[in-house]
């Protein structure tokens, strides 16, 4: 687990034991995901950004279950599911290249524009501008559905 996430967990009131459980579950799930992707590649199945995102979403749920830090209320579950559905719909509204770009930027490069620019071999400003353009598209998507930054 990255240092900033570790500190954030502790600042959120989790005990070191709870954070340790999360780290163990995360490491186990990450290894499982790598094995699964390698097996798919051996079978000639292309691992897409969307399948990776779905796997990561499932991974987060399994980590939460394994760490069993708290029990979610039915209301919290419904809200979380609604937010996932809206987020999924917003990502599906993007053009395929834009969706893949955002997935790579935020899920593989942790939103680090400089790393993404190096990875793609293009100027940092190009990555930044594309990110801003796509975020504006997503803002319009949410505004049309009555969501503001605070409500989502």
Q: Where are the alpha helices (DSSP H) in 12-123?
A: 16-42, 49-67, 74-92, 96-103, 113-120
Mean pLDDT across 113-117: 90
Q: Which residues of the chain are in CATH 1.10.10.10 domains? A: 73-152
Work out the percent of the chain whose per-residue pLDDT is above 70: 70
Class of domain 73-152: mainly alpha
Q: Which pLDDT band holds residue 150 (cuts at 50, 70, 90)?
A: very low
pLDDT in tens, 1-14: 567 667 777 777 77
- DSSP for 95-140, please give it: -HHHHHHHHIIIIISTT-HHHHHHHHTS-HHHHHHHHHHHHHHHHH
pLDDT in tens, 20-42: 877 777 777 777 777 776 776 66
11 in Cβ contact with 49 (< 8 Å): no
């Amino acid at each position: 687990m990255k240092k900033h996430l570790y500190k954030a967990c502790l600042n959120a009131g989790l005990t070191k034991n709870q954070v340790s459980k999360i780290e163990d579950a995360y490491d186990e799930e990450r290894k499982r995901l790598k094995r699964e992707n390698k097996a798919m590649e051996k079978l000639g199945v292309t691992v897409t950004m969307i399948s990776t995102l779905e796997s990561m979403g499932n991974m987060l749920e399994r980590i939460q279950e394994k760490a069993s830090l708290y029990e979610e209320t039915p209301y919290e579950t419904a809200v979380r599911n609604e937010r996932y559905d809206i987020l999924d719909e917003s990502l599906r509204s993007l053009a395929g290249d834009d969706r893949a770009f955002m997935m790579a930027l935020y899920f593989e490069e942790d939103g680090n524009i400089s790393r993404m620019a190096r990875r793609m071999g293009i100027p940092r400003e190009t990555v930044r501008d594309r990110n801003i353009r796509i975020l504006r598209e997503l803002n319009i998507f949410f505004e049309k559905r009555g969501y503001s930054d605070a409500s989502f």
